[in-house]
Chains A and B, each alone.
Chain A
Amino acid sequence: MKKIITIAVILVLIGTSCRKQADYMPYIGENGELAYSTYTEQFDYLWKVLSTGYVFWDVDTTDWDAAYNRYYPKFQELDKKYEQVGYVSTDELRELYTGLVGGMVDHHMSFRVRNLHPAPDDQSSAVYITPYSLEIPTRDYYFESAGDESMGIQLFLQNIETQYTVEVHEECTDYAPELGMTIRYHYILFKLPDGRKIPYLWQSSAGITPVMLQNGVGAQLLDHYFRAIVETPRNELAGIILDNRCNRGGYQDDLDYLVGNYLNERTEIMKTRYKEGPGRLEHSVWTPYYIEPNKTYHRDITAENIPYVVICDINSVSMGEIEPMTIKAVLPTAHTIGERTHGGTGPLQPANCIDLNYGGPFGDQSLACGHYVYTSSFEAQICGKVWEGIGHTPDEIVLRKNYNGDFRPQLDAAMRYIQER
């Protein structure tokens, strides 16, 4: 019996020692003091948090382990350089981090790190890299945008020709406090030569939900747009236009209006999932995102066969592109016009929810902890595919580049589609 017990104890000891221990893994919610003191440690920390917290490892082609092997010695070199000369130039640090993260597919990502020992003549000690700004200009239809269509709309209205007229034009600027940004709207009620009307809305960001809650000037304008859609008799309503060009994104709940208004029943519009554990492919299940019919501005545009045109361009970002994607996916009379959008489709958590799951933004914006990385919290799947880095390709391609970035041709295409339909 003693022998048996001895053998059992030996086996247990062997077994315990055969199990490997886990490496140190940083907690994504750490945002206090610096968690590192050298460039190598900073790299190692950021590499690890992105390894555990980046939500797109299933679609991103970056070889993250190879990147570690490649860049670890380079950051060690930086530490040696600092020991020799007492500083490292921010440009040099930027070059290394651009090599590390510059090709990542997350088109929301902004990657900011503090240079721990900047050179005396450095303008800034912060490295700021946005992978999308490296990819977007390489597209063959890229054009330099003013970033706000208001001027284009004004010029268009001053030079409008006779084929369609403007019955109503309202514009306003409102504020979405949670987004911390102003939102500009243009509502136009176009009238076609045959007398039919087309309610048109341009929005600089997706902030309908907070603007409606605030019930200010923006809510008034939006109410006019939605009421024009709901109350215009069918024989007088030619179609609807939503213009999302240069839309910088915002609230998912806006889909309650832009999709929900036209639904008769609860409808799945997309699926989302998040990082449930630190493994790169350790995702939650795909969770359906349902939209309920919005009875306040409800109209069954499918039954009434009312065309719903969404215009989008290369500067339609995040919700600015998820809106045309989901409208197109769900509403049979939807038609999208313009050019392939930005490709930032991964939803983000509110900023105060940093440790809600393993993904999402981490660090602090003041760079007190040495870094702030803005990255998607969720992965989104629309029509069975993750469109991150790709964006929405419209039904009808009209490139602004071919018209020197002119506002009008894409709108003309929308008008033409509605009239010919």
Chain B
Amino acid sequence: MLLCITALTASAQWSVGVKGGWDRTTITRSDAGRIDESYIGFSGFDAGIQARYGFTEWFALRADLSLMRRSYRMERNLNYLDPVFTNHHNYYLMLPVLADFSFGGENFRGHAYAGGYMGCWLRERRIGTTYWMTDYYVYFNDFDEVREFTSEDNRFCAGLVGGLGLSYKLDDHWGINLDALYYYDLTSHHRSSEHLRDPRYLNTLSVTFGASYIF
């Protein structure tokens, strides 16, 4: 037992760094009752800090604090309303906690991540084109606004996250890493009626480049 603890302590290692990159979000929501609109994925960004504590050579825990823009796009398909669209840019503060299983050589290693996350929906900016119709005319109008949250918005999110990564140790104190993480919400960002459930889930693939200081 003592040997085991000694071995763990010997390889324990803190690293703290920053990360930034691109993400792409899609929305999972029901088609039931839908008129003609479609929802498609949209790109965003992921920037934050990362902290890693290595227990052994192959196992570590990692926690990030990220500001993520998780965007998706709504498009209307009805022929004379097809200029109408909305890009929903949702800004989230995310806290993923990951088990980090690594493999490979001393400097260049591969990583497999699995874990969970919590997050807070900070803001939604929506940009697009909307319409207004009188009896004889259809008018289109561009907009760019920060949407006010309503009682139907669930601003807390939680879910599962997993992915793969590569890391390279530059020297004794510095390392870089490239990670692809997939965030899978288990909470709906829309609160619907108990008699008419209509959950909407976000899914985000994030690809980030990071640099860390190894203590």
Q: Which A residues have a C-beta under 8 Å from some C-beta of B? A: 1, 4, 7-8, 11-12, 14-15, 18-29, 47-48, 51-52, 58, 64-65, 68, 178, 209-210, 251-253, 272, 276-282, 284-285, 287-290, 347, 349-350, 353, 355-358, 378
A23 to B198, CA, bound (A): 6
Judged by a CB distance under 8 angstroms, whether B193 is at the interface is: yes
* Residues of B contacting A253 in the complex (Cβ-Cβ under 8 angstroms): 134-137
How many pairs, one residue from A and one from B, have CB atoms within 8 Å of each other in the complex? 133
A176 to chain B: closest residue by CB: B135
- The segment from B14-22, B139-147, B165-173, B204-212 found at the interface with A is B139-147
CB pair A26 B33 closer than 8 Å:
yes
Q: A23-B195, A349-B133, A358-B35 are in contact. List 10 more A-B contacts (CB 8 A).
A: A11-B114, A12-B184, A15-B159, A19-B201, A23-B32, A252-B135, A253-B137, A278-B33, A287-B132, A356-B78
User: What distance in Å separates the Cβ of A395 from its nearest Cβ neighbour in chain B?
Assistant: 27
B201 to chain A: closest residue by CB: A19
CB pair B162 A8 closer than 8 Å:
yes
Judged by a CB distance under 8 angstroms, whether B86 is at the interface is: yes
Interface size class of chain B, counting residues whose CB lies under 8 Å from the partner chain: 35 or more
User: What distance in Å separates the Cβ of B84 from its nearest Cβ neighbour in chain A?
Assistant: 9
- Given A11-B160, A52-B196, A287 and B32 contact (CB-CB distance below 8 Å): no
8 Å CB contacts to A: which residues of B130-189?
130-137, 139, 141, 143, 145, 147, 150-152, 159-160, 162, 184, 186, 188
CB pair A278 B198 closer than 8 Å:
yes
CB pair B35 A289 closer than 8 Å:
no
Judged by a CB distance under 8 angstroms, whether B83 is at the interface is: no
* Residues of B contacting A356 in the complex (Cβ-Cβ under 8 angstroms): 35, 78, 81, 133
Closest 5 A-B residue pairs measured CB to CB?
A25-B33, A22-B30, A25-B32, A252-B134, A281-B150
CB pair A209 B135 closer than 8 Å:
yes
CB pair B30 A281 closer than 8 Å:
no
* Residues of B contacting A26 in the complex (Cβ-Cβ under 8 angstroms): 33
* Residues of B contacting A52 in the complex (Cβ-Cβ under 8 angstroms): 33, 196
Q: Mark B96-108, 1 if CB is under 8 A from A, else 0.
A: 0000010100000
B188 to chain A: closest residue by CB: A20
A357 to B136, CA, bound (A): 17
Judged by a CB distance under 8 angstroms, whether B112 is at the interface is: yes
CB pair A19 B186 closer than 8 Å:
yes
Which among A210, A282, A353 is the interface contact of B152 at CB below 8 angstroms? A282
A27 to B35, CA, bound (A): 7
CB pair A7 B114 closer than 8 Å:
yes
* Residues of A contacting B133 in the complex (Cβ-Cβ under 8 angstroms): 349, 353, 356
* Residues of B contacting A47 in the complex (Cβ-Cβ under 8 angstroms): 195
A7 to B98, CA, bound (A): 13
- Given A22-B199, A356-B133, A285 and B33 contact (CB-CB distance below 8 Å): no
CB pair A285 B130 closer than 8 Å:
yes
For this complex, 5 residue pairs linking A to B, each with C-beta atoms less than 8 Å apart, are A11-B160, A15-B160, A253-B136, A272-B132, A350-B135
CB pair A251 B134 closer than 8 Å:
yes
